[in-house]
Amino acid sequence: MIENPSFLLPRISGVSMPELIIVIFIIAVLAAIALPAYEDYSMRADVESFIEKGAQIVEKEYLTSSQNHPQPGADFPYSDDQWVKLLNEQFPNDVFVTAGHDPLPTQVTVAMTDTGEVMLSGSQGHTVTAGTPVRNVIPVHYATNRAKTSASDGDNWGFGGAWQQKMSYGLANVSIPPGHQRGALERPFQWWIIEFDEKPEEHIMIAGGLRSMSYNEFFTALSADAATPLLFIHGFNVVFEDAILRSAQLAHDLSVNGQVLSFSWPSSGGVENYLVDLNNNERSIPQLRQFLVDLKANSGIDEINVIAHSMGNQVFTKALASLEESTGVPRLNQVILAAPDIDRFVFEREIATRLQKFLPDRVTLYASTKDKALSASTQLWDGERAGYISDAGIVTVGGIDSIDVSRVDAGWMSYLDLNHSAYGDELIDDIFLLLRHGHSPADRNLLQSQDEKHWILPR
Whether residues 123 and 142 fall in one domain: no
Strand partners, 448: 455
Whether residues 302 and 343 fall in one domain: yes
Whether residues 199 and 334 fall in one domain: yes
CATH of the domain at 203: 3.40.50
| Gap between the Cα atoms of 36 and 43, Å rounded | 10
Whether residues 17 and 89 fall in one domain: yes
Whether residues 158 and 220 fall in one domain: yes
Whether residues 96 and 183 fall in one domain: no
pLDDT at 433 over 80: yes
Whether residues 42 and 150 fall in one domain: no
Range of the domain at 36: 1-129
Q: Work out the pLDDT band at 45, boundaries 50, 70, 90.
A: low
* Per-residue model confidence as pLDDT tens digits over 370-404: 888 888 888 888 889 999 998 889 999 988 999 99
Which of the two residues, 275 and 96, has the higher pLDDT score?
275
* Per-residue model confidence as pLDDT tens digits over 120-162: 444 333 333 333 333 468 899 999 999 988 654 444 578 989 9
Q: State how beta strands 75-79 and 136-148 pair.
A: unpaired
| Gap between the Cα atoms of 140 and 184, Å rounded | 18
Task: Give the predicted TM-score (pTM) of the model.
Answer: 0.70
pLDDT cut 70: percent of the chain above it: 66
* Per-residue model confidence as pLDDT tens digits over 166-202: 999 999 988 888 788 888 888 887 666 666 787 877 8
Phi (first) and psi of residue 416, to 5 degrees: -75, -35
Q: What is the average pLDDT score of the chain?
A: 75
| 3-state DSSP assignment of residue 386 | coil
| Gap between the Cα atoms of 132 and 178, Å rounded | 9
